[in-house]
């Protein structure tokens, strides 16, 4: 089998997940190179994962690694640059959320990929999480009647890496980090490209990470879609006790609750503790919720397998740069609503350096 | 023991709950009379519950029954009239939620009771539900650190009686019926009388009861309190599958989830079905969540015992007319926010015939 | 109201539960005296609970306290003596489980109470636990079709008081302490007095309390009843993480799972910890299952209210000394089966100093 | 990649699961042929799964299909014959549980494979179920201290195919069908090859399938292992409401509960119902537990991937014919114990036509 060559850009938390996903579940792909800023880290990552080459120069990683696809697991503020280089070099792009920091960047990235005839594949893994996909199929079967409300929550005690606390690198707080999942998933559940009418939001900071970040640590966002259904996104960086990723579906003919962490876990009590319970769980002494196949259950391997298949068979990915852009527009609207206390109508576009400026002013 | 004499006004769903609560758990009280509009129903109710006297005239029920306390379980639009008569007659008042239809009524009721030196006791049972009270005590112990978000949900498939679907009798939809619980409970959790700063809300109608009601069938309301904590109230008349009454508490040092229905239930599968699973459960065939001591677990007996004790020992009730008025003000603000899409600042008072007019216009 | 006078014998863990149950939920009863071995403890207990008199002489507590009922919350080996004195003095008896250490004692106690025409009321609270009673009523409604298996588990990390670890005072380990509940509940579920055909058992010691007790710390017991239904009792003193009290009902037409602790709890995460989560929970830091109205949910107040009502209205209690004796016979059979590896047929009676001798030999 | 050629023997419920497992998760394997008794069924199965060849002659399927591995998904009574042919033909063997009907067959099968130098791989998927494997790794980390009790339950409303109800084809009831999983898993958790000391069992028939089978429909089996730990297996063909596959681990330092079905499910309420909830769920109207990636979560793909890897790399499988034989010996002992009411000591071997004869006599 002729494997599809992938250059992995980034070596943090999510890069590890991508590598493991490819290596266990996507035999059609081969990671031929990794890029990260420091040579020591790059070499260590390559060694650990048996990747043949490593780079500390982003452009070379893209152009000289012999890859057909770049998989971007970089901090938000580097997304635009990486995509522009990749497009220019004629490489397909898999890009982690959020698509970019600004809508202007998003538009340029989409245009560049289109011009270069490369795919811009937006890595929203919730569109592939097997439990959520099961629920989506029930919805499509009509199990819930007319859906009038969707809820999605992602909550934990804060990001794995420092750059996310710096709003100049991330563009915002938990909405940019985790809220983007809810917004993408609402759209996916409502057929992929529903028209969003408005956004209302409330945001809070100065909670668990007071003094460390100006980004919002907790947010509640209500999106209204054409036809009247709403999506309620709850996101937090201030939730102790481990990760929460859960959905609720409300229809006139049914309801559904699904939870990827506590709702899949083995329930454990240990006096001694043990190695690892789940993302951000903290101590493993006492009662814990022990998660299994965490990566698989969040949809990463399925997502990457789909994207590699799209490249190999020249198919249209189910989530693209346009979806990432639509999510970013909702994030802009959410920050604006949090800032003004007003419902913000879509489409919405104001030129700002970063989305959170719409809230912080 | 000299029992405290209570006249029960109303004979619907909640009146039954009050009677059973008194008879099983409040031996200090005696229901001496019941009022309801039709003689046949009044007689039947009195007979069923072994109540000595029944009335079809509201005023006589209050003034001629020999009661010291009236317990008002009437449709919303009758609350004001009943309280005014009771105050005039020097009777203490226990009143089911919501306090009244309008803020003007509320003010008159409070003033009348004050002038008559009778207690106006607002029957918010969530302030007495033993599981929620347990959580509140943990909060007070500091188990959750600084609380930044409270959530409360009440959802089922719609009211038991017709009048609630008629907004001229009820004043509004699910906010008036069930959302009032969340709002009262947020205040209770935050010390009883926290200052509310603002309200944002989204409401929907035309769902499960399309054509039957103009009241909102689903609502999401965000209240911001002084100090920054928010309360998120989710309420629905369009949720199939039985009652949901649940809370979530989020603090910088902890979280808590408590559920009065599914979270207390025996999990049952029955081919044949059986008599009753829980409020609004519908069919009992297949899997159901079988609730026990439903009334006790929602706090009704504890609430009524407290009120009777307040009367007997001349103590200040923990929830009063002022609390009911504060809740109603938040409801006004929620309707206005739903109507305008804007965050509404508190205090808020606009003269309207009924709260829902602020949304429906 | 003329209150029924109760003398409480014992001042340990269960005595506290009884006092609180009477005081909150059984206004028809009045605890007029408490007995415990040491004056200091007796005085403290009486003071804490506002009990008028205290005794350090068992006989005097019964004969001189002016009681009509004795409520025996003493170590197992004192049950027989206390009942014999009470019967002689013409006092009704409420007695905590197990009825006695030996079957000979049980027979004498039953005969003495019968001769004295006093009630011997066996305090099996699971026959009153509201969630379990709800399930029993479903069973009686036919919700589960033909019941072929019942399971009941009680598990925690070991008794509250020292005497229970000493088999000469207790008569055995976790079967005597907790297994008795399962056995009584099976009988109750199967109509009250079903004929038991046989018992199979496996027991283990040397687990969490190695070196501290010769009593069994873990046991699995299978009882076969006439008609073919079986009861499976699982009991442990070696389960870390707090109390488990749960049932499962299996019928050809349905199943039911009910859990009094984790299944009623609020789910809590606390960095700081808090005062108390549930019986034997240990640390309250991290995730815990916070139980509420623990006593009420286990059926203690309902049980004591029933017994006091039986005394006041001269009614037959639903669980009596005969039931306690039948449970003890099953315990004998369980120890014998654990000792021999053979199924033991009922009726079974061998004269031993204490039941556990049938296992330890 | 040179794919490993597999001939699939059988076309029932489990054969479907194997095919889907190979095709989605084991790209190293290729199913080259399928055997089933009737041409029509064989052709349909081959067509549905795009398998190149089909056979209605067992021997030819093995010898003429060009396979290197046979994967036996046949009724129990055909296991022996199929393995003997395969061994003679020099083919590696993957065999579904139970290994065979009798111990004599098992011994011959093991000997034949050994002589032919082919692998006899016993398909116990619970040794690969990712959630259970997670728990096993915690146990190995010492999270639970000294393990003293393991429990495993498999329960549903009865087999998918007729032959299992006929004890002459199956050799017994639910123990042969599902109990074998528990027994294999106990051994796996205790290090793979622990010495079993004794078995106690109780069995019931005439329940949900009264008149249809003489096989036991419900069983409780206690196995004692060297060192004192016990395994408690609960298995049922008489449980309405869908599949239960769950474990409990009890140690002196911790406990763990894991559930592959309800414990992974999305909780769904649907008025209309929908296509499929989980194995043996029955109706999907009302509340159901919607399972996802059922096959993956039970460990089938991981198991088959492991076996194919063992063939390709000539490695020793983690579960072999010897393990299947040890499980069968425990089943013999369980039937004997159920028949005599006595604990049966291991090793145990009595010559019978089928295991259940030891119970039915």
DSSP D210-230: TTT--S-SEEEEEEEETTS-E
CA distance A239 to A257: 20
Q: Which chains have 3+ CB pairs within 8 A of B?
A: A, C, D
CA distance D75 to D96: 9
Q: Which residues of C touch D241 (CB under 8 A)?
A: 254-255
Judging by DSSP bridges, how do beta strands A196-204 and A344-345 pair with one another? antiparallel
Q: How far is D192 from chain C (nearest CA, A)?
A: 22
Q: Which of A266, A287, A297, A302 to mutate to test the interface with D (most CBs of D within 10 A)?
A: A266
* Closest Cβ–Cβ partner in A228, A240, A341 for B198: A341
Contact D268 A290 (CB under 8 A): no
User: Looking at chain B from residue 227 to 246, which residues have their Cβ under 8 Å from any Cβ of chain D?
Assistant: 240-241
Q: Which residues of B touch A202 (CB under 8 A)?
A: 200, 222, 224, 230
Q: For residue D302, what is the enclosing H or E element? A: helix D300-312
Which portions of chain C are predicted below pLDDT 70? 1
Which portions of chain A are predicted below pLDDT 70? 1
Q: With CA atoms as reference, report the closest residue to A352 among A179, A213, A178, A171.
A: A171
**Could you tell me the pLDDT band of residue D282, with boundaries at 50, 70 and 90?**
confident
Could you identify the residue written with the tokens 């190179």? A33
* Closest Cβ–Cβ partner in B240, B283, B287 for D241: B287
Q: Where are the alpha helices (DSSP H) in A71-207?
A: 79-88, 103-115, 130-141, 167-170, 174, 180-189
Q: Do A232 and A212 meet the contact criterion of CB atoms below 8 Å apart?
A: no
CA distance A235 to A176: 10
Percent of chain A past pLDDT 90, that is, above it, reads 98
Contact C269 B275 (CB under 8 A): no
Q: For residue D187, what is the enclosing H or E element? A: helix D180-189
CA distance A61 to A67: 9
pLDDT of D1 higher than 80: no
Q: For residue B346, what is the enclosing H or E element? A: none
Query: Which residues, at least 6 apart from A173, have a Cβ–Cβ distance to it below 8 Å?
Result: A167, A203, A205, A213, A214, A215, A216, A217, A219, A237, A356
Percent of chain D past pLDDT 70, that is, above it, reads 100
Q: Which chains have 3+ CB pairs within 8 A of D?
A: A, B, C
Q: With CA atoms as reference, report the closest residue to C325 among C170, C152, C122.
A: C122
Q: How far is B75 from chain A (nearest CA, A)?
A: 26
Which portions of chain B are predicted below pLDDT 70? 1
- Please give the C-alpha separations between residue A348 and each of A198, A341, B341, in angstroms, as whole numbers: 9, 15, 16
CB-based burial label for D83 (10 Å; 0-12, 13-18, 19+): buried
Read off the tokens for A353.
């350096």
- Please give the C-alpha separations between residue B54 and each of A253, B18, B37, B48, C27, in angstroms, as whole numbers: 41, 16, 10, 12, 29
Q: Is any Cβ of chain C less than 8 angstroms from the Cβ of B361?
A: no
Contact C288 A283 (CB under 8 A): no
What number of CA atoms fall less than 13 Å from residue A275's CA on the CB side?
11
pLDDT of D361 higher than 90: no
DSSP A12: S
Residue C268, helix vs strand vs coil: strand
Judging by DSSP bridges, how do beta strands C218-225 and B230-236 pair with one another? unpaired
| First CA to last CA distance, chain A | 54
Q: With CA atoms as reference, report the closest residue to B225 among B175, B188, B176.
A: B188
Q: Do B109 and A178 meet the contact criterion of CB atoms below 8 Å apart?
A: no
What number of CA atoms fall less than 13 Å from residue D97's CA on the CB side?
27
CA distance B159 to B280: 9
Cis peptide before D98 (omega within 30 of 0): yes
Q: CA-based Rg of chain A, rounded to a whole angstrom?
A: 20
Mean residue pLDDT of chain D comes to 97
CA distance B317 to B188: 13
Q: Is any Cβ of chain A less than 8 angstroms from the Cβ of B254?
A: yes
Buried b (16+ CB within 10 A) or exposed e, A339-352: bebbbbebebeeeb
Q: Do D66 and D346 meet the contact criterion of CB atoms below 8 Å apart?
A: no
Q: How far is C125 from chain A (nearest CA, A)?
A: 28
Report the DSSP beta bridge partners of residue A234.
A153, A220
Q: Do C179 and C129 meet the contact criterion of CB atoms below 8 Å apart?
A: no
CA distance C282 to A46: 45
Could you identify the residue written with the tokens 């008028």? C52
Model pLDDT, residue C115: 98
Q: Which residues of B touch A228 (CB under 8 A)?
A: 204, 206
Contact B286 D289 (CB under 8 A): no
Residue D209, helix vs strand vs coil: coil
CB-based burial label for B182 (10 Å; 0-12, 13-18, 19+): buried
Mean pLDDT throughout D234-245?
Answer: 97
Contact D208 C252 (CB under 8 A): yes
Establish, for the pair of chains C and D, how many residue pairs have beta carbons separated by less than 8 Å. Answer: 81
Q: For residue C288, what is the enclosing H or E element? A: strand C286-290
CB-based burial label for A251 (10 Å; 0-12, 13-18, 19+): buried
Q: How far is A285 from chain C (nearest CA, A)?
A: 8
- Between CA C21 and CA C28, with CA C24 as vertex, the angle to 5 degrees is 85
Residue D256, helix vs strand vs coil: strand
Read off the tokens for B316.
């200040």
- pLDDT, tens digit, for every residue of B335-357? 999 999 999 999 999 999 999 99
Read off the tokens for B345.
């600042």
User: Looking at chain B from residue 69 to 128, which residues have their Cβ under 8 Å from any Cβ of chain C?
Assistant: none
Report the DSSP beta bridge partners of residue A267.
A289, D257
pLDDT of D316 higher than 80: yes
Q: With CA atoms as reference, report the closest residue to D203 among D218, D185, D187, D188.
A: D218
Read off the tokens for C182.
């399962």
Measured in whole angstroms, the distance separating CA B228 from the mean position of its chain's CA atoms is 26
Judging by DSSP bridges, how do beta strands C69-72 and C4-9 pair with one another? parallel
Model pLDDT, residue D192: 83
What number of CA atoms fall less than 13 Å from residue B83's CA on the CB side?
34
Q: With CA atoms as reference, report the closest residue to D343 among D240, D242, D196, D214.
A: D196
Query: Which residues, at least 6 apart from B127, have a Cβ–Cβ distance to it below 8 Å?
Result: B133, B184, B185, B188, B299, B303, B318, B319
Contact D240 B283 (CB under 8 A): no
Q: Which residues of A touch D246 (CB under 8 A)?
A: none
Q: Do D15 and D73 meet the contact criterion of CB atoms below 8 Å apart?
A: yes
Contact C252 D207 (CB under 8 A): yes
* Cβ neighbour number for residue B312 with a 10 Å cutoff: 16
Q: Which residues of B touch D269 (CB under 8 A)?
A: 240-241
Contact C222 D202 (CB under 8 A): yes
Q: Which of A153, A157, A220 to mutate to test the interface with B (most CBs of B within 10 A)?
A: A220
Q: Is any Cβ of chain C less than 8 angstroms from the Cβ of B264?
A: yes
Contact B240 A254 (CB under 8 A): yes
Could you identify the residue written with the tokens 């793979």? D192
Q: Is any Cβ of chain A less than 8 angstroms from the Cβ of C263?
A: no
Q: Do C267 and B257 meet the contact criterion of CB atoms below 8 Å apart?
A: yes
Buried b (16+ CB within 10 A) or exposed e, B69-92: bbbbbbbbbbbbbbbbbbbeeebb
CA distance B280 to C343: 48
Q: How far is D187 from chain B (nearest CA, A)?
A: 32
Nearest chain C alpha carbon to A241: C269
DSSP C56: S
Read off the tokens for D99.
């290994």
Model pLDDT, residue B192: 82
Q: With CA atoms as reference, report the closest residue to B254 among B122, B149, B324, B151.
A: B149
Report the DSSP beta bridge partners of residue A233.
A152, A221
User: Looking at chain B from residue 181 to 220, which residues have their Cβ under 8 Å from any Cβ of chain A?
Assistant: 198, 200, 202, 204, 206-208, 218, 220
**How high is the ipTM of this complex?**
0.96
């Amino acid at each position: 089998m002729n494997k599809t060559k992938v250059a992995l850009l980034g070596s943090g938390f999510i890069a590890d997940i991508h590598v493991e996903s490819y290596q266990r579940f996507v035999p059609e792909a081969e990671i031929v190179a990794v890029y990260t800023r420091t040579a020591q880290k790059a070499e260590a990552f390559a060694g650990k994962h048996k990747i043949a080459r490593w780079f500390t120069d982003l452009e070379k990683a893209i152009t000289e690694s012999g890859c057909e696809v770049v998989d971007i697991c970089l901090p938000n503020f580097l997304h635009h640059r990486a995509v522009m280089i990749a497009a220019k070099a004629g490489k397909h792009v898999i890009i982690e959320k959020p698509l970019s920091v600004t809508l202007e960047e998003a538009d340029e990235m989409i245009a560049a990929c289109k011009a270069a005839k490369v795919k811009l594949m937006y890595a929203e893994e919730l569109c592939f999480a097997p439990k959520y996909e099961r629920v989506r199929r029930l919805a499509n079967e009509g199990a819930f009647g007319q859906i009038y409300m969707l809820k999605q929550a992602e909550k934990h005690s804060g990001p794995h890496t420092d750059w996310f606390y710096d709003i100049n690198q991330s563009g915002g707080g938990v909405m940019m980090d985790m809220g983007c999942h809810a917004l993408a998933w609402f759209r996916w559940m409502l057929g992929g490209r529903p028209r969003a009418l408005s956004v209302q939001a409330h945001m809070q900071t100065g909670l668990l990470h007071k003094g460390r970040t100006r980004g919002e640590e907790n947010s509640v966002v209500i999106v209204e879609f054409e036809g009247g259904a709403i999506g309620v996104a709850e996101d937090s960086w201030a939730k102790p006790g481990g990760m929460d990723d859960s959905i609720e579906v409300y229809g006139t003919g049914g309801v559904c609750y699904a939870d990827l962490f506590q709702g899949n876990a083995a329930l454990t009590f240990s006096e001694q503790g043990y190695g690892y319970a789940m993302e951000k769980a903290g101590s493993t002494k006492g009662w814990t919720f022990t998660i299994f196949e965490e990566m698989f259950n969040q949809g990463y391997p399925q997502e990457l397998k789909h994207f590699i298949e799209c490249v190999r068979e020249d198919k249209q990915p189910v989530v693209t740069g346009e979806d990432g852009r639509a999510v970013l527009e909702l994030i802009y609207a959410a920050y604006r609503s949090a800032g003004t206390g007003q419902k913000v109508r879509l489409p919405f576009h104001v030129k700002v350096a970063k989305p959170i400026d719409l809230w912080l002013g």
